[in-house]
Amino acid sequence: MLLAASIPLGVTTAAAQDPLAVDLKLVIAVDVSYSMGLEELQLQRTGYVEAFRAPEIARAVKTGPLGRIAVTYVEWGGKAIQILPWTVIEDSLTAEQFAETLRRQPVRRISFTSISNTLQFARRIIRSSPYRASRRVIDVSGDGPNNAGVPAPIARNNTVAQGIVIDGLPIMLKNAPDSASISDIDVYYEKCVIGGEGAFVVKVSDASQFSAAILAKLTAEISGLNVSSVLQHRMRPKIAKFDEPYDCLIGEEMQERSIGR
């Protein structure tokens, strides 16, 4: 049985003394909007399932002072839905249970793309979770810019102001962007989405990279290590930089043009 928020079973003796303390609260927020193709959706789901089954995740969890984290899985489009409850991961068994429960979930699709609504939702469930942690991270993956809700940088800034780090996994598998995506979504995530101390993006530009990129990214987030020492080669991260101008309203502008035709 999963170690969900309401079922704190099977924790260690130390955890039983303080069941609300974890090293990290991690929100995994994955894009299931209609800009994501069915193949992309399946690759994304499989990537997260395989990641939590990998021994690297359990090892990363054990690097923390308490040796346990709380994680939840959210799917989003114009709105966000919490697919799996807050769950304690403390060893390979609980990681495998999380992976298997995720594997069994149906593949959903949600209209529109609202990174800002998703960040707002993630902040809310972080606040309401029964766990406390010194680190809080929202891991956002997606293939298109924000086109609903407030502009992404506003939600980003509000989130970072609350001490929450936002990391990004921009997905770039299309040969050509469609009406809801852009060719430089990795730059969009760098400039408009991620934020907080050590925030980084890892882009996926080939289907063969998906599982490895997700695993490396989660390992870095869970362990809290310097990401540049964990991610290598084509998955090398780009740290947030805000010294160059960028049109962070590109998604909203594209949506307005499509409606106004």
Domain CATH for 120: 3.40.50.410
Cα distances from 119 to residues 46, 80, 143, 165, in angstroms, run 23, 9, 16, 11
CA separation for the pair 203, 223 (Å, rounded): 20
* Buried b or exposed e, range 9-22, using 16+ CB within 10 angstroms: ebbeeebeeeeebb
User: pLDDT confidence of 230, banded at 50, 70, 90?
Assistant: very low
* Residue 260, number of CB atoms within 10 A of its CB: 6
Average pLDDT over residues 169-189: 82
Q: Is residue 9 part of a domain?
A: no
pLDDT more than 90, % of the chain: 71
CA separation for the pair 226, 228 (Å, rounded): 6
Q: Is residue 4 part of a domain?
A: no
The total number of structural domains that make up the chain: 1
User: pLDDT confidence of 180, banded at 50, 70, 90?
Assistant: low
Average pLDDT over residues 190-210: 93
User: pLDDT confidence of 246, banded at 50, 70, 90?
Assistant: confident
Average pLDDT over residues 151-166: 96
Average pLDDT over residues 220-225: 90
Q: Which domain holds residue 177?
A: 20-259
Average pLDDT score, the chain: 85
* Residues 61-74: tens digit of each pLDDT: 999 999 999 999 99
